[in-house]
Amino acid sequence: MALDELRFGICFHLYELIEHVPERIKYFEQAERGEDVNWDALFDGYHSAVDFPVIRYYKQVIAKYPDAKIIQTTRDPESWYKSFSETILWATQPDVKRILRMMIRLPFSSTLRKKMRVLKFNGGMIRKMLGENFKDKEAAIEMFNLHNQDVLAKVPKDRMLIYDVKQGWEPLCTFLNVPVPNTPFPKTNSTQEFLNNVKSL
């Protein structure tokens, strides 16, 4: 929402992929297989990107777009895992009741089938990024920290802002060379909002 307000939107993120362009998951599947990806086609209509699954392929993306600026958000690992376990983990590891409900609807909804392809891919990527012990808090946090360290080591410093959203507008706007808005910094995607969105699929 902050990037959209600063006119760097429409911003590509997981929920955008699920809701509006689920067919574009094919590009991430190609990237995962090590194939050449038409990143311009994937991001057609978008001017920024955050979140999964884009972050898994950040090396390819920053190589493709050498003038792009990179924002590396930071947060407390304990807080991250609590949020992760209550949202992403819940969404990608459905219980029997949710599976049955979706199986009943799948044959009658091509839209749902497209969305399920994205969710299935996302679940597989969680295992690849966090390991098979992703349900173990300490193991997941270790992988979370390793990923952040890898980003900090690989992204050129002159292209990167290390940023905590609690800092608000000023460092973000300075980095992006845009004026600071006269509006409060937006806050969205709370745990409850995420759960409501997933339940609506």
Instruction: For 63-112, write each residue's pLDDT tens digit.
Output: 999 999 999 999 999 998 888 887 777 666 666 676 676 676 666 666 66
Q: Is the pLDDT of residue 164 over 90?
A: yes
Band (pLDDT 50/70/90 cuts) for residue 197 is low
3-state SS class at 86 = helix
Number of domains forming the structure of the chain: 1
| C-alpha distance from residue 102 to each of 26, 79, 111, 150 (Å) | 22, 30, 12, 37
Can you tell me the mean pLDDT for 152-157? 94
Q: What is the pTM of this model?
A: 0.81
Q: How confident is the model at residue 133 (pLDDT cuts 50, 70, 90)?
A: confident
CATH code of the domain in which 106 resides: 3.40.50.300
Could you list the residue range(s) of the whole structural domain that residue 111 is in?
Answer: 2-199
CA-based end-to-end distance of the chain: 22
